[in-house]
Amino acid sequence: MRHSLPTIPQFYVTAPQPCPYLAGRMERKLFTALQGEQAEAMNDTLSKQGFRRSQNVLYRPSCADCNACLSARIRVADFTASRSQRRILRRNRHLQRQVTSAWATEDQFDLFRRYLDTRHADGGMADMDVFEFAAMIEETPVRTRVLEYVHLEDTGRRRLSAVCLTDVLDDGLSLVYSFFDPKLAGDSLGSYMILDQIALAEKVGLPYVYLGYWVPGSPKMEYKAKFSALEIYHDGEWQDLTDRTQFTGTTHPLAVKPIAEQVANLTLPENLSAPIAPTRRLRDF
């Protein structure tokens, strides 16, 4: 007997747990499995509605009384680098971008462990082993690339300085996760990778670079608001981030719509049973 996966996605909610961004708050996520022939269409469609991918799951914050997490993306055509961002580009001009398939390597894991141990030793990923790391990189049902930033020394030695796991959407590049050599923290490699992928998106004709969530009041997320042409997803639409004080992340009992209403208002791919053919532009990446 042949069994097929359901064509209509099922949505679930995680149990509350401490928020990693804002002290004293609890986080909760709305999520659905990403699987089958329509995985890319689902990733494209829900990413435009504030969702993010983690392996074979799409999720969006849906906390009980807080809506501080705001999905952010950069309009590539309107982006202008600031003076400090131009300095970051010059400081890292020796790095070479090497694009590979979603395949984990020992060099990547070694860099990942040094990054976590130095910068996020008490975070939720602190205990990840090599198998979990490989799953994070390789378990993807969509078009995903690993961008390695390397320094080729005069001796011919290849030094891996930074890595970014990136999804290729139909309208942009989505930065899933990035990490870098903690000894090079002064080189602002996190911002450099964003700047480089803005340039890459422009080259291949994609209009947006998705940055994940900007969280007002969270110091570790403040750097995202420093990029020009930034849009945030709020109240069901993308809005220019022109006034940061408009979004304070304050909590109140009516901050978030009920889960059933959130799911009912989602837009899904029109035909969940027909495969989506990639366009020429995406094949060229």
Q: pLDDT tens for residues 229-264? A: 999 998 899 999 987 777 766 666 666 788 889 999
Measured distance CA(164)–CA(222) in Å, rounded: 19
For the chain (length 285 residues), average pLDDT per consecutive 10?
60 92 90 92 96 96 89 98 98 96 96 88 74 96 97 82 98 97 95 98 98 90 93 93 74 75 90 46 43
Q: Domain with 169 in it: what CATH number?
A: 3.40.630.30
Q: Which pLDDT belongs to residue 143?
A: 96
Q: Is residue 89 part of a domain?
A: yes
**DSSP bridge pairs for 151:** 159
Q: How far is CA 138 from the centre of its chain?
A: 15
Q: Which pLDDT belongs to residue 282?
A: 41
Q: Which pLDDT belongs to residue 272?
A: 61
Q: Which pLDDT belongs to residue 157?
A: 82
55-71 pLDDT, tens per residue? 999 999 998 888 889 99
Question: What pTM was estimated for this model as a whole?
Answer: 0.89
Q: Which pLDDT belongs to residue 243?
A: 77
Q: Is residue 257 part of a domain?
A: yes
Q: Is residue 110 part of a domain?
A: yes
Number of separate domains in the chain: 1
Q: Which pLDDT belongs to residue 121?
A: 57
Q: Is residue 2 part of a domain?
A: no
Q: How many distinct helices (H) and strands (E) make up the chain?
A: 7, 14
Question: Residue 186 sits in which domain range?
Answer: 11-283
Q: Is residue 6 part of a domain?
A: no
Q: Which pLDDT belongs to residue 167?
A: 98
Q: Is residue 260 part of a domain?
A: yes
Taking CA atoms, 181 is separated from 149, 161, 188, in Å, by: 11, 5, 11
Between the CA atoms of 106, 143, 68 and 236, what dihedral angle is there, to the nearest 10 degrees?
180
Q: Is residue 268 part of a domain?
A: yes
Question: Is 89 in contact with 97 (CB distance < 8 Å)?
Answer: no
Q: Is residue 4 part of a domain?
A: no
Taking CA atoms, 196 is separated from 90, 132, 235, in Å, by: 12, 27, 30
Measured distance CA(32)–CA(128) in Å, rounded: 23
